[in-house]
């Protein structure tokens, strides 16, 4: 029998080791790309949740302020709404801080109107009352957001059930955008207030 020399056998081991190293490198690169993609997706979901929570918080605060206004003398003047948020906020400042009630002619009753309103509202960087929206500063008025959520209340009219009882309907619209400014969230609710 012939025996093989050690020189001929060494090349096969090197070739197999290089192929295994290449496979391990491909697995590591694929794993890193997948991890990076999962981190991006997780970050996007987190941003979207923050924007949703900010919009919902602004929506609930507007509803609370509207309910607070119901039992006051200023409610009669505010029930029809105002021409701008600045006028509304100034007229209601003694009763409820930073409340904007616009007249029913400015009701955001279609998707096109809501989208146009949101685009304009999100361009306002200050949380002060603007023409068509008010910035949300939190329940305590001290919260700070990178991009302040905006909200507005529009009067939808009233329905008188009896001579002295009236039911008023309001549409509350809130919009917020995440810190990365990529995910605008728009929420709406209808508030029914009965006044004896």
Q: What local confidence, expressed as pLDDT, does residue 163 receive?
A: 46
Confidence (pTM) = 0.73
For the chain, give every domain's residue range. Answer: 54-195
In the DSSP assignment, the letter for residue 158 is E
Residue pLDDT, tens place only, 13-59: 888 888 999 999 999 998 888 888 887 777 777 888 888 888 898 89
Contacting residues for 173 by C-beta, under 8 A, at least 6 apart: 59, 108, 114, 117, 151, 152, 153, 154, 186, 187, 188
Instruction: Cite the DSSP H helix spans in 71-110.
Output: 75-78, 85-92
Which pLDDT score is estimated for 140? 65
pLDDT score of 80 more than 90: no
190: left (phi over 0), alpha (psi -120 to 50) or beta: beta
Convert the pLDDT of each residue in 115-167 to its tens digit: 888 888 887 766 667 778 887 776 666 666 667 788 899 988 776 555 446 88
Q: What is the pLDDT of residue 42?
A: 74
Tokens for 165, please give them. Answer: 């009882």
Residue 173's pLDDT is 92
Distance CA 176, CA 85 (A): 18
Residue 184's beta-bridge partner residues? 177
Q: What is the pLDDT of residue 24?
A: 93
């Amino acid at each position: 029998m012939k025996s093989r020399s050690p020189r001929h056998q060494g090349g096969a081991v090197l070739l197999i080791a290089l192929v295994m190293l290449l496979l391990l490198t491909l697995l590591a690169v694929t794993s890193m790309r997948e991890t990076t993609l999962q981190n991006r997706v997780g970050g996007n979901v987190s941003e979207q949740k923050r924007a949703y929570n900010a919009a919902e918080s602004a929506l609930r605060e507007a509803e609370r302020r509207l309910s607070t206004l119901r039992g006051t003398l200023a409610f009669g003047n505010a029930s029809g709404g105002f021409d701008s948020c600045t006028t509304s906020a100034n007229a209601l400042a003694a009763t409820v801080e930073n409340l904007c009630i616009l007249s029913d002619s400015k009701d955001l009753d279609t998707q096109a109107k809501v989208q146009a309103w949101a685009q304009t509202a999100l361009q306002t960087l200050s949380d002060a009352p603007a023409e068509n929206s008010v910035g949300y500063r939190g329940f305590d008025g001290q919260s700070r957001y990178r991009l302040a959520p905006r909200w507005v209340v529009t009067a939808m009219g009233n329905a008188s059930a009896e001579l002295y009882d009236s039911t008023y309907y309001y549409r509350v619209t809130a919009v917020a955008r995440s810190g990365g400014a990529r995910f605008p969230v728009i929420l709406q609710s209808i508030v029914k207030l009965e006044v004896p």
